[in-house]
Amino acid sequence: MTTMDDAMAPGEAVASPPSERRDPGLASRIAARTGGGVLRVFLVLVALFWLVPTFGLLASSLRGPSDIAASGWWKVFSEPAQLTWSNYDKLLSNDTITNSLWNTVLITVPTTLLVVVVGSLAGYAFAWMEFPGRDWLFLVLVGLLVVPIQIGLIPVSKLFGDLGLFGSITGVVIFHTAFGLPFAIFLLRNFFAEIPRELLEAARLDGAGELRLFATVVMPLGGPAIASLGIFQFLWVWNDMLVALIFADPDSAPITVALQNQVRQFGANIDVLAPGAFISMIVPLVVFFAFQRQFVSGVMAGAVK
């Protein structure tokens, strides 16, 4: 898992002070020549530039509707008294929003679990079992890695219509699971294939059956890959709008779709959109900061998706 380790570089850099690192690169040479000032100022400016949009959303979400209508969010610097939780209070007593947040959880958690379980089973089969057409089937799977989800929208909406799944949370979960599988199987198959054969054979000699072998040896050893996959999949589905826009009816719509409905009147309802968007971002941001390493490696591994 070399790449996984590389991927963790951002996390690692925290641990090791820069002085211990190998030798100076371009940046430090530029820094040395300009006294470091220009480079630092430039990077601080870039960082601010990247931060300002998100900060604007946060500041807007904490101002009352009349303040929003009257002036820009940067007024909070000169008039901090404007800051208020009232938008959030209102939003969280709005049934459409709270229901949709709950729907997001109901869609995201089962999808993540399903992708991990179904993907692990198949990944293990591809890595350690013998069956006719295995290699051929795996190449098909590799081909499916980059299939755009757009190709599935029309046919699956027909299919779900026939099966009575159209509009339901179940339908959204199944669609996400199916399109998450190629990458999940691919990632886990490659990871499981690296498990030392002796470990599996030893467990087998101890009399472990196929399922026990899978549950007690393969899954625990696959921990890092499963964590990366799970986090990546979780964020992917949590952040999805398109699939839910098509397959979820208003009662099963997640937060992204509920907010999307409000965007058409943009300008008059920033007191709903800004806090709504921010609430929808909280879980991804917490996951991102808590599991940086796994997230980064999941994103890197999923590059082509």
Partner 1 sequence: MATATAGGAAQPGSPPAPRKSVLGTPRWVAVLFLLPALVLLGALVVYPIGYSITRSLFSADSSHFVWFDNYGEVFTNHDTLTAVKNNAIWVIVAPTVATTLGLIFAVLTERVSWGTAFKLLIFMPMAISMLAAGIIFRLVYEQDPDKGVANAVVVGVHDTFAEASAYPRARPRPNGDLAPSGGGAFTTKAPHEASTPVALPLIGILAKDLPDARPAKPPEQAKEGGKGVTGTVWLDFKPGGGGKPGQVDPGEKALKGVKVEAVKDGKVVASTRTADDGTFSLDTSGPVRLRLPSSNFAEQYAGVDWLGPDLVTPAIIGAYIWMWAGFAMVLIAAGLASVPRELLEAARVDGANEWKVFSRITVPLLAPVLVVVLVTLMINVLKIFDLVYIIAPGSTQADANVLALQLYLESFGSGNNQGVGSAIGVLLLLLVVPVMIFNIVRMRREARR
Query: Which residues ranging from 255 to 274 are in contact with partner 1 (CB under 8 A)?
Result: 256, 259-260, 263-264, 266-267, 270, 273-274
Question: Which stretch in 82-90, 94-102, 105-113, 148-156 sits in contact with partner 1 by CB under 8 A?
Answer: 148-156
In single-letter form, the type of residue at position 83 comes to: L
Which residues between 76 and 115 bind partner 1 (CB under 8 A)? Answer: none
What is the three-class DSSP state of 221? helix
Q: Does 124 bind partner 1 (CB under 8 A)?
A: yes
Token look-up 């599991």 returns 291
- Contact (CB, 8 A) for 171 and 247: yes
Q: Does 212 bind partner 1 (CB under 8 A)?
A: no
**Minimum distance, C-beta of residue 109 to partner 1, in the bound complex (Å):** 17
- Candidate list 109, 113, 178, 221; residue touching partner 1; CB under 8 A: 178
Q: Does 220 bind partner 1 (CB under 8 A)?
A: no
**Minimum distance, C-beta of residue 86 to partner 1, in the bound complex (Å):** 19
Q: 153, 212, 197: which is closest to 178 by C-alpha?
A: 153
Dist CA 165 CA 167 (whole Å): 6
Phi, psi of 218 (to 5 degrees): -70, -50
- Candidate list 64, 65, 71, 113; residue touching partner 1; CB under 8 A: 71
DSSP H/E element including 51? helix 37-61
Q: Does 226 bind partner 1 (CB under 8 A)?
A: no
**Minimum distance, C-beta of residue 114 to partner 1, in the bound complex (Å):** 9
**x/- string (CB under 8 A) for partner 1, residues 24-63?**
xxxxxxxx-------xx-xx--xx--xxxxx-xx--x---
Phi, psi of 248 (to 5 degrees): -105, 130
- Candidate list 91, 97, 116, 200; residue touching partner 1; CB under 8 A: 200
Would you call 204 exposed, middle or buried from its count of C-beta atoms within 10 A (0-12, 13-18, 19+)? middle
